[in-house]
Chain A
């Protein structure tokens, strides 16, 4: 029937776009991964996996990750409770301060730890710690510092938005505090908590910045992979380890997906009412202040270390490290980083918006494929993605240019901003395009004039996420950058190799400063737009 045919015509452009996007994903994620995995045909996988060194690294990784995850999530839970469930003052400020560690690279956390608790660390000297905190505990502490803010943010959101009505019902029924915790809070927290645990686990097990710095002889899988590829150029062995690293990340990702609530629970309730309890508030205040001091200890140490002559021999104030870093090209690398961060935040956000529109507001069978592709990056560690890209794009013209760094970063950090857009688009009235088309306002008109303006806050968040992560990342880019396009964060690894901790501290500060600046700019843009609305 011709009616059906003419109607089908409407869908052709969006189907074509979806197919183009699928082809893009094929080349940006799937084929590079296959290329990396295919090298295993040339390597004796069994032999790599059966070495004592590998078994040790695997054991180390699992152990460190398990311990760090438990500590990080417990600490995050405690802090989230302190801020969300007490009448403590300055909650917005506390929330900002507690997530500052998210603005520096993981390797800087490792370095901060060395400055404080290394063999020459200033606290080590005070308390007489002889050999410093290298190895197991070093990695655990560094990983906690690095992953804590993410876990904190997730749990805080959950507690903050919890519906207060079940508690009121509980009070009417005369339940004790303990009963209410086990009957209401815990069941409510179970699902989100599983998500938090897996997010933290994935973050820690795939990270190589912290163990590279403070691991010493305690080698973990990512460090082993990094050394095999960078040090010995052994891509085959690197690929095998990469594949092994994919396994826990994929398992974590799948469990997390299965665990997630389907659809948007749009419950109407009332906020949790916090009772008056001065003693509890005081305890919470002390915990928050202590944590913030601990968080800022390494950052303050960078600030000191970045501006003294030579720790610990010559503690005089100087711009020597600044000059040294600038001399070694810090400004050029900073420029590289900013170029990468700006381009990726624009292109990555645009791509994420298009993808999310096609999966959230234009649902067809292809949408599921696109959705799956869009979230795969959650399960791919940066090092693995980087190595895949080296092997897949080696003989293409984009290899060795900025373009491949744009692409690898956009892909590496794609899932989170994509999910932000997906959720926002899903919540916007589903009939808008229909109402538009009956009025003779096309899909694009509705997107441009109604949907995008309504998503403005989300778009800012997405851009900021891409930007900050591009400024910090050292994993995927470490195999792909060269002298001319190297980003700033990679100078930290370089300085670390040359034992120039002061310069590395200065670079970490620089990254922190750029990211804080960005956050401030975003804050003011949001404030201005809220006012105009």
Chain B
């Protein structure tokens, strides 16, 4: 059975149609990237999946159960935003502990100490044990994002959605965070849906990539299949050329380095 099944999703804001008859499915434990330029509708899909937005048409199944009308909190999904959405007035530890104590899905199974214990464990996983008592603003962007990830993971969702979580971070931080994210996914077996406009990121991390443009899925396939058999001109242009440009400039860069040496 598929982890998630999306059938015929459509959504408009006013007169403009943001999503047009979107259908796809996500396997259990898969890392799926949704790749597209800004305004292509990728964030709207995410918000509909987790129930922050409603679709005009369509249906969402999770483990075969219709969750289209379920409130966000009952979907057992988590979301990590680009701007982290941390609780700035609480320490790193309290951010996770508070979520455990207040969330409807976990609050009955934890008392204060147990929640603190669990929070510490989660923060250790993302390598933040040294920063438990700091406020979020005392951390770097990458560290803040790791707090957000730990906070989401702590509630034990079986699907986590990422809304361009790394676009505010510098290149080095992105690279190390990519590795950590894959590591965490392996460890917890969580299904992850990852939104990005960065081709390189999508290709480096994903089991499958869903290329979107103007509210329509252009192609949904494995990275190698997308490169070998792009479904249409758009995919060719947007995905492959961009990657080629990057590779070429890298080669160029390497050559000039050679010459100067």
Binding site for B on A (CB under 8 A): 1-4, 6-8, 428-432, 434-435, 437-441, 445, 449-450, 453-454, 533
Contacts and interface: CB of A to CB of B under 8 A. Distances in A.
Contacts of A440: 72-74, 102-105
B77 to A, nearest CB: 7
A435 B51 CA distance: 11
B38 to A, nearest CB: 17
Contacts of B105: 439-440
Given A2-B69, A3-B69, A438 B50 contact: yes
Nearest to A428: B88
B52 A533 contact: no
B69 A437 contact: no
B68 interface: yes
Contact of B103 (A428, A441, A454): A441
Interface in B60-87: 68-69, 71-75, 77-79, 81, 83-87
16 contacts: A1-B56, A3-B55, A8-B54, A432-B87, A434-B52, A434-B79, A434-B81, A434-B85, A437-B52, A438-B78, A440-B72, A441-B102, A449-B98, A449-B102, A450-B88, A533-B135
Contacts of A429: 83-86, 88
Contacts of B135: 533
Contacts of B57: 1
A435 B54 contact: no
B155 interface: yes
B69 A439 contact: no
A379 B35 CA distance: 50
Q: How large is the interface on B (under 10, 10 to 19, 20 to 34, 35 or more residues)?
A: 35 or more
A42 B158 CA distance: 72
Contacts, number: 81
A428 B137 CA distance: 13
A361 to B, nearest CB: 13
A449 to B, nearest CB: 7
A439 B155 contact: yes
**A interface, over-half SS:** helix
A435 B79 contact: yes
Contact of A7 (B54, B74, B87, B88): B54
Contacts of A4: 54-56
- The 9 closest A-B CB pairs, nearest first, are A440-B73, A440-B104, A7-B54, A431-B85, A453-B89, A435-B85, A439-B103, A440-B103, A431-B81
A437 B54 contact: no
A6 B73 contact: no
B128 interface: no
B99 interface: yes
A396 to B, nearest CB: 42
B55 A445 contact: no
Interface string B88-104: 11100000001100111
Nearest to A445: B102
B83 A431 contact: yes
Contacts of B98: 449
Given A431-B85, A440-B103, 12 more contacts: A1-B55, A1-B56, A7-B53, A7-B54, A429-B84, A431-B83, A435-B81, A435-B85, A438-B50, A438-B52, A449-B98, A454-B88
Given A3-B55, A429-B83, A450-B89, A439 B73 contact: yes
A435 B46 CA distance: 13
A89 B81 CA distance: 44
Contacts of A453: 89
B73 A437 contact: yes
Contact of B73 (A7, A438, A450, A454): A438
Contact of B54 (A3, A431, A450): A3
B69 A454 contact: no
A439 B78 CA distance: 7
Contacts of B90: 450
A3 B51 CA distance: 10
Given A429-B83, A434-B52, A434-B85, A3 B68 contact: yes
Contacts of B87: 432, 449-450
Contacts of B69: 2-3, 6
Nearest to A453: B89
Nearest to A439: B103
B169 to A, nearest CB: 16
Nearest to A452: B89
A522 B92 CA distance: 28
Contacts of A439: 73, 78, 99, 102-103, 105, 155
Contacts of B79: 434-435, 438
Nearest to A533: B135
Nearest to B155: A439
B197 to A, nearest CB: 18
A454 B86 CA distance: 12
Candidate in A428, A439, A533 with the most chain B CB atoms within 10 angstroms: A439
A430 B52 CA distance: 13
A470 to B, nearest CB: 29
A6 to B, nearest CB: 5
A435 to B, nearest CB: 4
B56 A454 contact: no
A126 B135 CA distance: 61
A428 B85 CA distance: 9
Given A3-B69, A438-B73, A533-B135, A454 B52 contact: no
B19 to A, nearest CB: 13
